[in-house]
Amino acid sequence: MELVTEDNITELAARRWATARDPRTRELLTALVRHLHAFAREVRLTEDEWMAAIQWLTATGQISDEKREEFILTSDVLGLSMLVVQMNRRFDEAATPATVLGPFHIDGSPELAFGGDMSDGVPGIPLYLSGIVRSLDGTPVGGAVLDVWQADADGNYESQLEVDEARLRAKYTTRADGSYCLRTIAPKGYSIPMDGPVGDLIRQTEISHFRPAHVHFLLNVDGYQPLITHLFEQGAQYLDSDVVFGTKEELVVAFEPREPGPTPDGGVSDVPWVEARYDFVLQPA
């Protein structure tokens, strides 16, 4: 019999989890045991701190539901989400960089036509965003679907509100020449949810809990690597302190003010509006 001591507990636990039948599961769990034990030893974790962590994890699970995923937010603010993205999406430097999905994406957004308005009456300055979806070699990608979502002027996503229909989210399909055009409202910077366990942690630090103004995009096109990314407004506040580490220089876009008149979708606006242009470059699978 091998009795448990402070010196051998890590090896004993890792040895037990090494019995996992799947090789990758075995690798993940034995490494997890070793790193958790190393963390506890490094900080000399107390019993009170251990219990506080258990209670924090419990609260994080309790506040999460089909609309709110506090564990994703936890991963985001710790930088883990962006680390995983960057390790797994090592695209060509000419391709559009990937970023985090975030906790507010909703499946099944409505499909809108070229230039369709996904804001549909939500207050804000009209924003027309247009460009081309193409491959690394410059070939236009027709039929590509852009899944788009964003927060409103108060920083709220649809999943944070009691609404019965899609709000500030839609899907757009590129034309044969790869072109797309969408209408929404100019985004604003906003705070991540601070009413849960993540907010409790952030308030114990000097970390800014704000994100810079941005719009989310998801492109999943046959023959290409899936792309999850953002477009950020050039000059927006918090670009250098994004709480989820999502900003990249290649994704910062000028939002140009326009007077009433012709718009990129071929229509005419009778109010001032904002224009942004961006070409998405996809990494072949």
Domain ranges of the chain: 1-45, 80-282
Does residue 5 carry a pLDDT above 90?
yes
pLDDT, position 164: 84
Element holding 42 (H helix, E strand)? helix 23-43
What backbone torsions phi and psi does residue 249 show, to the nearest 5 degrees? -55, -35
Rounded to whole angstroms, how far apart are CA atoms 285 and 282?
A: 9
Q: What pTM, to 2 d.p., does this model score?
A: 0.91
Tens digit of each residue's pLDDT (9 = 90 or more) over 79-109:
999 999 999 999 999 999 999 998 889 999 9
Mean pLDDT (the chain) is 96
Contacts of 277 (CB under 8 A, 6+ apart): 129, 130, 131, 253
The candidate with the shortest Cα–Cα distance to 212, out of 256, 244, 182, 184, is 244
Tens digit of each residue's pLDDT (9 = 90 or more) over 162-186:
888 899 999 999 999 999 999 999 9
Query: With bands split at pLDDT 50, 70 and 90, how would you rate the model's confidence at 160?
Result: confident
Secondary structure (DSSP) of 75-105: HHHTTHHHHHHHHH----TTSPPP----S--
Q: Is 37 in contact with 10 (CB distance < 8 Å)?
A: yes
Element holding 210 (H helix, E strand)? strand 210-211
Write the burial class of residue 260 (CB in 10 Å: 0-12 exposed, 13-18 middle, 19+ buried): exposed
Say whether 250 sits in a helix, a strand or coil.
helix
Residue 248 structure tokens: 């990249």
Does residue 67 carry a pLDDT above 90?
no
Q: Is 217 in contact with 150 (CB distance < 8 Å)?
A: no
Topology, domain 80-282: Protocatechuate 3,4-Dioxygenase, subunit A (2.60.130)
Question: HSE (CB half, 13 Å, CA atoms) of 277?
Answer: 7
Tens digit of each residue's pLDDT (9 = 90 or more) over 217-251:
999 999 999 999 999 999 999 999 999 999 999 99
pLDDT, position 120: 86
The residue behind tokens 């010196």 is: 7
